[in-house]
Amino acid sequence: MDQCNVRFLPDNLTVQVSSATTILLAAGKAGIQLKSGCGGKGTCGACKVILVSGEVEVESTGNLSREKIDAGVHLACKTKIMGDITVEVPLESRLAEHQVLMGSANGLLSEKEINLLSQYGLTPLARKISVHLPEPSLTENGADWPKLNIELKKHLGEGKIDIPLGVLRQLPDALRVGKWQVTATLVELNDRYELVNVEPGEQVNPPYGLAIDIGTTTVVVYLVNLATGAIIDKQGTYNKQARYGDDVITRIVYAVDAPGNLAEIQAAIIGTINELVDSLCTKYQVKPEEIVGAVAAGNTTMTQLFLGVSPKYVRLEPYIPTMNSVPPLRAADLGLHMNPHGAVLNFPSVASYVGGDIVSGALVTDMSNGDDLILFIDIGTNGEIVLGNRDWMVACACSAGPCFEGGGITFGMRAMPGAIERVEIDAQTFDVTFKVVGGKQPIGICGSGLVDCLAKLREAGIIDRAGNFQKDLQTPRYRQTHEDKEFVLAWAHQTPGDKDIVITENDVKNLIRAKGAIYAGIRSLLRMVSLEVEMIEKIVIAGGFGNYLNVKDSVQIGLLPDLPVEKYDFIGNSSVKGAHLALLSRAAWKEAEELGKKMTYLELSAGNDFMDEFVSALFLPHTDLSLFPTVEG
Ligand code: FES
């Protein structure tokens, strides 16, 4: 059979695929995003599905237990469809309900964002100018474009104006249809203007722009009215590249593995953005041609994949990206659903692991405009950290691993409905209470819950400072299995499944390594500039995980510096907020370009103090308790 029907339950969605397609790819085609941590190698076990009926060819069962195999569980990435089949996709294998961090909750700008915008000034990337040209005659017979150029310069001043061939082709008819009145849409670039559209007559519709955050996991797009600066709406979804792996490394490996893969993975991110743009355009009846500018921010690998530039050397020592800054591009070069002549700006990156998303975040912190020492941290798979003020900035990236996003933890998951996000443990009875995202029954535990959990396990004396479980704990929640020691956070009857949700000693050790890496990164930056933690005026935390973080517990475990809670600030998705700011203000965009150049990158694997700091941080909260006076107390 060449074509097979694949029915997915409980969604009841059917797609047709060629025989020998994997279930993972078929699910993607059906719009069901499966977890695929290892990028389809069959090693992570994240893409489990249950075969209800039909014929398949199993390439590998990975580390599935006999029990699971007997129950019909298959690895979607290693199971080929050989006939019409029906497959059930369990909740825990799906990416679909992940919370996409959209920036401000309601589309309105926060007071801080409004202040920042008024500080830089509202000078959007594109604007419309309506002009009237004198009608030509046999004696006044100059060409169309020079005459329009002169008229536009009366409004713009002396900057050079470029006109692409496609707009040149529109021009003669637009002038004559409009009886010598046209509305020109111009994009303002650093050293020139570009005429991206001409319309006959006087047009009052505003130009539109896009602010785009290209996250490794999720993608967010704001549709912005460039005349007023208002966000029309925002939408977010999964990065379709997730089917090639959860993290940047597996995606790089895929992109460079075979000819055609780079184009495929680039098409996945362009497709993700285009779907969001199409949805916004349909909802607000905006024509894609009316979108004339976009600003995108992403980490270095995401930016290179977005542009179709191989990220091969980002991953190989000495970790060199192809470029730090990208000249303005035209939308048509990338295939974005907007005016083909529209400009696409990409935030500059600093190094292979400190990308445009961090520069965008630093722009939003406003750290480059004040004397106060600010520490900016974006905690994800990589903990990216920037320290500095208006005079200098240093930055580093520490591989914290995927723990805080739920990776490498027995019941770890991202912050989606069903994730335990807060934990309390009674030190006397060891009873556990928890709060679950979406108020549902728990199915796992997300980053903020893990931080809480580690702090509460230590507070209750269940683990020691090195993360070892104490022997002889008098509670049925503590048990030793043949694999590991574990503590029960939720009994099976409290969950929708049939298993207790536990945290194991190995999970605890992984978490300690992750928090140790971030704290060691902070200390390394401080040592680089010979400053102490107490000199930090403000700590700004970005990212999905950071948004739900409990500062007190984070200090308790030694993840964050022991400074008063008032010094902490959470800014959510700073990447898209910076892109929005840069879309609306030429001065902010220039500042972003300067920021990229200004940050000095500290490579933590290059023989500095990081390893010593890391080893010292592998305790709760730290080997040196004087660094955590409130915890010691
Ligand atoms: Fe299928 Fe990892 S086992 S994606």
3-state secondary structure 213-228: EECCCEEEEEEEECCC
Ligand 1 geometric centre to CA of 397 (Å) = 27
Q: Which of 22, 47, 89 to mutate to test the pocket of ligand 1 (most atoms within 8 A of CB)?
A: 47
What is the Cα 59 distance to its own chain's centre? 32
Instruction: Report the nearest atom of ligand 1 relative to the CA of 35.
Output: 4
Q: Which residue has the tokens 């009145």?
A: 181
Give residue 159's pLDDT: 86
Query: Tell me: the pLDDT tens digits for 119-157?
Result: 999 999 999 999 999 999 999 999 999 999 999 999 998
Beta bridge mates, 492: none
106 pLDDT higher than 60: no
37 pLDDT higher than 70: no
The ranges of the chain annotated as CATH 3.10.20.30 are 3-98
Q: What does the block give as tokens for 82? A: 């050989």
Average pLDDT over residues 490-495: 93
Q: Rounded CA gap, 549 and 405, in Å?
A: 12
Architecture of domain 126-200: Roll (3.10)
Smallest CA separation from ligand 1 atom 4, residue: 36
pLDDT confidence bin for 546, thresholds 50/70/90: low
Ligand 1 geometric centre to CA of 64 (Å) = 11
What fold is seen in the domain 208-346? Nucleotidyltransferase; domain 5 (3.30.420)
Give residue 36's pLDDT: 75
Beta bridge mates, 394: 387, 600
Cβ of 62 less than 6 Å from ligand 1: yes
Ligand 1 geometric centre to CA of 122 (Å) = 47
What phi and psi, each to the nearest 5 degrees, are found at residue 592? -60, -40
Average pLDDT over residues 443-452: 91
Average pLDDT over residues 240-245: 87
Q: What does the block give as tokens for 537? A: 């005026």
The ranges of the chain annotated as CATH 3.10.20.880 are 126-200
Query: Tell me: the pLDDT tens digits for 44-74?
Result: 788 899 999 999 999 999 888 888 899 999 9
Give residue 585's pLDDT: 96
Cβ of 36 less than 6 Å from ligand 1: yes
Nearest to 268 by CA among 317, 305, 222, 232: 305
**Do 589 and 599 form a contact (C-beta atoms < 8 A)?**
no
Nearest to 362 by CA among 550, 209, 591: 591
- The more confident residue out of 22 and 242 is 22
Give residue 254's pLDDT: 94
439 pLDDT higher than 70: yes
Average pLDDT over residues 165-184: 97
Ligand 1 geometric centre to CA of 34 (Å) = 9
Q: Rounded CA gap, 208 and 200, in Å?
A: 18
Average pLDDT over residues 196-206: 95
Average pLDDT over residues 612-627: 95
**Do 199 and 292 form a contact (C-beta atoms < 8 A)?**
no
248 pLDDT higher than 80: yes
284 pLDDT higher than 70: yes
Buried b (16+ CB within 10 A) or exposed e, 450-461: bbbbbbbbbbbe
Q: Rounded CA gap, 387 and 409, in Å?
A: 30
Secondary structure (DSSP) of 111-171: HHHHHHHHHH--B-SEEEEEEEPPPP-SSS---HHHHHHHHHHHHH-S-EEE--HHHHHHH
Instruction: Report the nearest atom of ligand 1 relative to the CA of 78.
Output: 1
What phi and psi, each to the nearest 5 degrees, are found at residue 582? -70, -30
The ranges of the chain annotated as CATH 3.30.420.480 are 208-346
Q: Which of 38, 69, 250 to mutate to test the pocket of ligand 1 (most atoms within 8 A of CB)?
A: 38
632 pLDDT higher than 70: no
Give residue 487's pLDDT: 96
Whether the CA torsion 236, 240, 245, 251 is positive or negative: it is: negative
Average pLDDT over residues 298-309: 97
510 membership: H or E segment, kind and range? helix 505-528
**Do 339 and 331 form a contact (C-beta atoms < 8 A)?**
yes
Cβ of 75 less than 6 Å from ligand 1: yes
Ligand 1 geometric centre to CA of 89 (Å) = 14
386 pLDDT higher than 80: yes
Tell me the three state secondary structure of residue 321: coil
E-assigned strands of 249-373?
291-298, 329-330, 343-346
Q: Which of 23, 25, 44, 89 to mutate to test the pocket of ligand 1 (most atoms within 8 A of CB)?
A: 44
Give residue 103's pLDDT: 59
pLDDT confidence bin for 101, thresholds 50/70/90: low
Give residue 289's pLDDT: 95
Give residue 107's pLDDT: 56
Query: Tell me: the pLDDT tens digits for 250-259?
Result: 899 999 999 9
Look up the CATH number of domain 3-98: 3.10.20.30
Tell me the three state secondary structure of residue 55: coil
pLDDT confidence bin for 413, thresholds 50/70/90: confident
pLDDT confidence bin for 611, thresholds 50/70/90: very high
Smallest CA separation from ligand 1 atom 3, residue: 42
Query: Tell me: the pLDDT tens digits for 355-377?
Result: 999 999 999 999 999 999 999 99
pTM: 0.85
The fraction of the chain above a pLDDT of 70, given in percent, is 96
When the pLDDT of each residue in the chain is averaged and rounded to a whole number, the result is 91
Query: Tell me: the pLDDT tens digits for 309-356?
Result: 999 999 999 999 999 999 999 999 999 999 999 999 999 999 999 999
In 285-321, which ranges are continuous DSSP H helix? Answer: 300-307, 312-315
**Do 574 and 364 form a contact (C-beta atoms < 8 A)?**
yes
Ligand 1 geometric centre to CA of 43 (Å) = 6
